[in-house]
Amino acid sequence: MTTTTLPARASGTFDLGGDLPVTRLGYGTMQLTGPGVWGWPADPDEAVRVLRRAVELGVNFIDTADSYGPAVAEPLIAKALRPYADDLVIATKTGLTRSGPADWRPVGRPEYLRQQAEMSLRILGVDRIDLFQLHRIDSQVPLADQVGELALLQQEGKIRHIGLSEISVEQLKAATEFATIASVQNLYNLANRQSEELLDYAAEQNIAFIPWFPLATGKLAKAGGVLDEIAAKHEATPSQLALAWLLKRSPVLLPIPGTSSVDHLEQNIAGAEVQLSDAEFDELSALAS
Protein backbone atom coordinates (compact mmCIF):
# COMPACT_ATOMS: atom_id res chain seq x y z
CA MET A 1 0.00 0.00 0.00
CA THR A 2 3.05 2.27 0.05
CA THR A 3 2.56 5.08 -2.42
CA THR A 4 5.80 7.00 -1.93
CA THR A 5 9.47 6.13 -1.75
CA LEU A 6 9.75 7.72 1.73
CA PRO A 7 6.54 6.58 3.45
CA ALA A 8 7.81 7.29 6.99
CA ARG A 9 7.68 11.01 6.23
CA ALA A 10 3.91 10.82 5.96
CA SER A 11 3.95 10.64 9.78
CA GLY A 12 5.07 14.27 10.02
CA THR A 13 7.89 15.68 12.12
CA PHE A 14 8.55 16.71 15.71
CA ASP A 15 11.29 18.96 17.05
CA LEU A 16 12.90 16.87 19.78
CA GLY A 17 14.04 19.14 22.58
CA GLY A 18 12.80 22.05 20.50
CA ASP A 19 15.75 21.96 18.10
CA LEU A 20 16.18 18.46 16.67
CA PRO A 21 13.67 17.57 13.94
CA VAL A 22 12.77 13.90 13.65
CA THR A 23 10.31 11.98 11.50
CA ARG A 24 7.61 10.93 13.97
CA LEU A 25 7.51 7.28 12.91
CA GLY A 26 10.87 5.87 13.98
CA TYR A 27 12.41 2.47 14.44
CA GLY A 28 13.21 0.58 17.67
CA THR A 29 16.10 -1.91 17.72
CA MET A 30 15.13 -4.20 20.60
CA GLN A 31 14.12 -7.04 18.27
CA LEU A 32 17.45 -7.05 16.44
CA THR A 33 18.98 -9.18 19.20
CA GLY A 34 18.68 -12.83 20.15
CA PRO A 35 15.83 -14.47 22.15
CA GLY A 36 15.12 -12.71 25.42
CA VAL A 37 16.91 -9.63 24.03
CA TRP A 38 20.10 -11.56 24.74
CA GLY A 39 23.03 -12.16 22.42
CA TRP A 40 23.34 -11.81 18.68
CA PRO A 41 20.48 -12.44 16.24
CA ALA A 42 20.39 -15.61 14.19
CA ASP A 43 20.88 -13.52 11.04
CA PRO A 44 23.03 -10.42 11.70
CA ASP A 45 23.10 -9.59 7.99
CA GLU A 46 19.31 -9.28 7.96
CA ALA A 47 19.55 -6.96 10.97
CA VAL A 48 21.88 -4.72 9.00
CA ARG A 49 19.49 -4.80 6.03
CA VAL A 50 16.58 -3.82 8.29
CA LEU A 51 18.42 -0.78 9.63
CA ARG A 52 19.48 0.38 6.19
CA ARG A 53 16.00 -0.17 4.78
CA ALA A 54 14.44 1.85 7.59
CA VAL A 55 16.55 4.85 6.63
CA GLU A 56 15.78 4.29 2.94
CA LEU A 57 12.06 4.49 3.80
CA GLY A 58 12.47 7.90 5.42
CA VAL A 59 13.07 6.98 9.06
CA ASN A 60 15.58 9.31 10.71
CA PHE A 61 14.92 8.44 14.37
CA ILE A 62 16.50 5.21 15.67
CA ASP A 63 15.92 4.13 19.28
CA THR A 64 18.28 1.69 20.98
CA ALA A 65 19.91 0.86 24.34
CA ASP A 66 23.21 -0.44 25.68
CA SER A 67 21.28 -3.30 27.31
CA TYR A 68 19.87 -4.64 24.04
CA GLY A 69 22.03 -7.73 23.69
CA PRO A 70 23.70 -6.29 25.72
CA ALA A 71 26.07 -4.39 23.43
CA VAL A 72 24.50 -5.89 20.31
CA ALA A 73 22.05 -3.33 18.93
CA GLU A 74 24.44 -0.39 19.15
CA PRO A 75 27.24 -2.15 17.23
CA LEU A 76 24.73 -3.22 14.58
CA ILE A 77 23.65 0.41 14.13
CA ALA A 78 27.25 1.49 13.68
CA LYS A 79 27.94 -1.30 11.20
CA ALA A 80 24.81 -0.60 9.16
CA LEU A 81 24.61 3.16 9.13
CA ARG A 82 28.06 4.72 9.55
CA PRO A 83 28.93 7.21 8.22
CA TYR A 84 25.67 8.59 9.55
CA ALA A 85 23.40 10.85 7.49
CA ASP A 86 23.40 14.43 8.72
CA ASP A 87 19.74 14.26 9.74
CA LEU A 88 19.89 10.84 11.46
CA VAL A 89 19.00 11.00 15.16
CA ILE A 90 20.11 8.09 17.36
CA ALA A 91 18.57 7.77 20.81
CA THR A 92 20.08 5.30 23.25
CA LYS A 93 19.39 4.34 26.86
CA THR A 94 21.22 3.20 29.95
CA GLY A 95 20.34 2.24 33.50
CA LEU A 96 19.47 -1.44 33.12
CA THR A 97 22.02 -4.22 33.59
CA ARG A 98 21.71 -7.74 32.23
CA SER A 99 22.68 -11.09 33.69
CA GLY A 100 20.83 -13.30 31.24
CA PRO A 101 17.90 -13.56 28.80
CA ALA A 102 14.83 -11.55 29.85
CA ASP A 103 16.63 -10.36 33.01
CA TRP A 104 16.70 -6.58 33.60
CA ARG A 105 17.99 -4.84 36.74
CA PRO A 106 18.06 -1.07 37.31
CA VAL A 107 21.40 0.51 38.19
CA GLY A 108 21.39 4.29 38.45
CA ARG A 109 24.68 5.00 40.18
CA PRO A 110 26.22 8.11 38.60
CA GLU A 111 29.54 6.42 37.86
CA TYR A 112 27.73 3.61 36.04
CA LEU A 113 25.61 5.99 33.96
CA ARG A 114 28.73 7.93 32.98
CA GLN A 115 30.63 4.76 32.10
CA GLN A 116 27.81 3.58 29.84
CA ALA A 117 27.51 6.97 28.16
CA GLU A 118 31.20 6.80 27.30
CA MET A 119 30.75 3.25 26.00
CA SER A 120 27.79 4.23 23.82
CA LEU A 121 29.76 7.16 22.39
CA ARG A 122 32.57 4.80 21.46
CA ILE A 123 30.44 1.93 20.15
CA LEU A 124 28.15 4.15 18.09
CA GLY A 125 31.12 6.16 16.88
CA VAL A 126 29.68 9.59 17.62
CA ASP A 127 31.01 12.68 19.39
CA ARG A 128 27.68 13.38 21.05
CA ILE A 129 24.61 11.25 21.76
CA ASP A 130 21.49 12.93 20.35
CA LEU A 131 19.12 11.63 23.05
CA PHE A 132 20.38 9.80 26.13
CA GLN A 133 17.60 8.18 28.16
CA LEU A 134 17.53 6.77 31.67
CA HIS A 135 16.07 3.32 31.02
CA ARG A 136 14.65 3.02 34.55
CA ILE A 137 14.84 5.10 37.70
CA ASP A 138 16.84 3.21 40.31
CA SER A 139 14.91 3.38 43.59
CA GLN A 140 18.15 2.82 45.51
CA VAL A 141 19.80 6.00 44.19
CA PRO A 142 18.58 9.59 44.75
CA LEU A 143 16.89 10.96 41.64
CA ALA A 144 19.08 14.05 41.88
CA ASP A 145 22.18 11.89 41.49
CA GLN A 146 20.83 10.01 38.47
CA VAL A 147 19.38 12.90 36.49
CA GLY A 148 22.10 15.21 37.77
CA GLU A 149 24.79 13.01 36.21
CA LEU A 150 22.98 13.14 32.87
CA ALA A 151 22.86 16.92 33.20
CA LEU A 152 26.63 16.98 33.78
CA LEU A 153 27.18 14.85 30.67
CA GLN A 154 25.00 17.30 28.77
CA GLN A 155 27.00 20.28 30.05
CA GLU A 156 30.17 18.52 28.93
CA GLY A 157 28.77 18.19 25.41
CA LYS A 158 28.60 14.40 25.47
CA ILE A 159 24.81 14.22 25.15
CA ARG A 160 22.44 16.65 23.47
CA HIS A 161 19.10 15.86 25.10
CA ILE A 162 17.95 13.88 28.15
CA GLY A 163 15.06 11.42 28.26
CA LEU A 164 13.41 9.23 30.91
CA SER A 165 11.66 5.88 30.58
CA GLU A 166 8.79 4.23 32.48
CA ILE A 167 8.03 7.16 34.75
CA SER A 168 5.01 8.93 36.24
CA VAL A 169 3.98 12.56 35.94
CA GLU A 170 5.22 13.14 39.48
CA GLN A 171 8.64 11.66 38.68
CA LEU A 172 8.87 13.74 35.52
CA LYS A 173 8.10 16.91 37.44
CA ALA A 174 10.69 15.98 40.06
CA ALA A 175 13.33 15.28 37.41
CA THR A 176 12.84 18.69 35.80
CA GLU A 177 14.29 20.25 38.95
CA PHE A 178 17.68 18.86 37.91
CA ALA A 179 17.60 18.92 34.10
CA THR A 180 15.50 19.75 31.06
CA ILE A 181 13.73 16.58 29.96
CA ALA A 182 13.20 16.29 26.20
CA SER A 183 11.40 12.92 26.06
CA VAL A 184 9.65 10.20 27.99
CA GLN A 185 9.29 6.57 26.96
CA ASN A 186 6.49 4.48 28.47
CA LEU A 187 4.37 1.51 27.47
CA TYR A 188 1.44 2.91 25.48
CA ASN A 189 -0.66 1.62 22.61
CA LEU A 190 -4.23 1.30 21.39
CA ALA A 191 -4.94 -1.54 23.83
CA ASN A 192 -2.98 -0.25 26.83
CA ARG A 193 -3.37 3.40 27.83
CA GLN A 194 -2.24 3.31 31.42
CA SER A 195 0.18 6.18 30.68
CA GLU A 196 -2.53 8.51 29.34
CA GLU A 197 -1.96 11.07 32.11
CA LEU A 198 1.75 11.23 31.29
CA LEU A 199 1.01 11.60 27.58
CA ASP A 200 -1.34 14.52 28.19
CA TYR A 201 1.19 16.22 30.47
CA ALA A 202 4.01 15.66 27.97
CA ALA A 203 1.88 17.21 25.24
CA GLU A 204 1.25 20.27 27.41
CA GLN A 205 5.00 20.66 27.93
CA ASN A 206 5.94 19.81 24.32
CA ILE A 207 7.93 16.81 25.55
CA ALA A 208 8.23 13.89 23.13
CA PHE A 209 6.43 10.71 24.19
CA ILE A 210 8.02 7.56 22.73
CA PRO A 211 5.53 4.68 23.15
CA TRP A 212 7.21 1.32 23.40
CA PHE A 213 5.31 -1.79 22.26
CA PRO A 214 3.25 0.46 19.96
CA LEU A 215 1.77 -2.30 17.79
CA ALA A 216 -0.05 -4.19 20.54
CA THR A 217 -3.73 -4.68 19.72
CA GLY A 218 -4.50 -7.90 21.61
CA LYS A 219 -8.14 -8.94 21.59
CA LEU A 220 -9.05 -5.71 19.75
CA ALA A 221 -7.77 -7.28 16.51
CA LYS A 222 -10.18 -10.24 16.58
CA ALA A 223 -11.77 -11.13 13.25
CA GLY A 224 -14.93 -9.19 12.55
CA GLY A 225 -14.23 -6.58 15.22
CA VAL A 226 -14.12 -2.81 14.76
CA LEU A 227 -10.36 -2.75 14.27
CA ASP A 228 -10.55 -5.51 11.70
CA GLU A 229 -13.38 -3.78 9.83
CA ILE A 230 -11.68 -0.38 9.68
CA ALA A 231 -8.40 -2.01 8.66
CA ALA A 232 -10.15 -3.78 5.77
CA LYS A 233 -11.69 -0.48 4.67
CA HIS A 234 -8.20 1.04 4.41
CA GLU A 235 -6.69 -2.13 2.91
CA ALA A 236 -4.40 -2.11 5.93
CA THR A 237 -3.43 -4.45 8.74
CA PRO A 238 -4.53 -4.04 12.37
CA SER A 239 -0.94 -3.14 13.27
CA GLN A 240 -0.86 -0.40 10.65
CA LEU A 241 -4.12 0.95 12.07
CA ALA A 242 -2.65 0.88 15.57
CA LEU A 243 0.23 3.05 14.34
CA ALA A 244 -2.12 5.39 12.50
CA TRP A 245 -4.14 5.79 15.70
CA LEU A 246 -1.02 6.69 17.70
CA LEU A 247 0.08 9.24 15.12
CA LYS A 248 -3.34 10.89 15.22
CA ARG A 249 -3.67 10.68 19.01
CA SER A 250 -1.07 13.38 19.75
CA PRO A 251 1.58 15.32 17.81
CA VAL A 252 4.19 14.51 20.50
CA LEU A 253 3.88 10.73 20.02
CA LEU A 254 6.89 9.17 18.29
CA PRO A 255 6.12 5.45 17.74
CA ILE A 256 9.16 3.20 17.25
CA PRO A 257 7.87 -0.19 16.01
CA GLY A 258 10.62 -2.78 15.92
CA THR A 259 11.16 -5.89 13.84
CA SER A 260 13.95 -8.15 12.63
CA SER A 261 12.46 -8.58 9.15
CA VAL A 262 12.69 -6.22 6.17
CA ASP A 263 9.23 -7.31 4.96
CA HIS A 264 7.66 -6.60 8.34
CA LEU A 265 9.51 -3.29 8.54
CA GLU A 266 8.09 -2.16 5.21
CA GLN A 267 4.61 -3.14 6.35
CA ASN A 268 4.98 -1.18 9.60
CA ILE A 269 6.33 1.96 7.92
CA ALA A 270 3.43 1.91 5.47
CA GLY A 271 1.18 2.54 8.47
CA ALA A 272 2.32 6.18 8.36
CA GLU A 273 0.27 6.60 5.20
CA VAL A 274 -3.01 5.41 6.74
CA GLN A 275 -5.17 8.46 7.39
CA LEU A 276 -7.98 7.88 9.87
CA SER A 277 -11.09 10.03 9.83
CA ASP A 278 -12.12 11.70 13.08
CA ALA A 279 -15.03 9.27 13.34
CA GLU A 280 -12.74 6.26 12.86
CA PHE A 281 -10.30 7.62 15.42
CA ASP A 282 -13.10 8.07 17.97
CA GLU A 283 -14.43 4.59 17.26
CA LEU A 284 -11.01 3.04 17.81
CA SER A 285 -10.39 5.16 20.90
CA ALA A 286 -13.59 3.84 22.47
CA LEU A 287 -12.46 0.23 22.12
CA ALA A 288 -10.21 0.20 25.17
CA SER A 289 -11.95 2.87 27.20
Question: 105-106 and 96-97: which strand pairing?
Answer: antiparallel
Angle, CA of 152, 18 and 85, to the nearest 5°: 85
Rounded distance, CA 93 to CA 100, Å? 18
Rounded distance, CA 244 to CA 87, Å? 24
27, 68, 188, 201: the active-site residue? 68
Q: What residues does 20 pair with on adjacent strands?
A: 16
Known catalytic residue at 201: no
With residue 184 as reference, give the H or E element that holds it.
strand 181-185
Three-state SS letters, 248-261: HHCCCECCCCCCCC
Peptide bond into 83 cis (omega under 30): yes
Helix 278-285 with 226-233: angle, nearest 10 deg: 160
Secondary structure (3-state) at 62: strand
Active site residues: 68
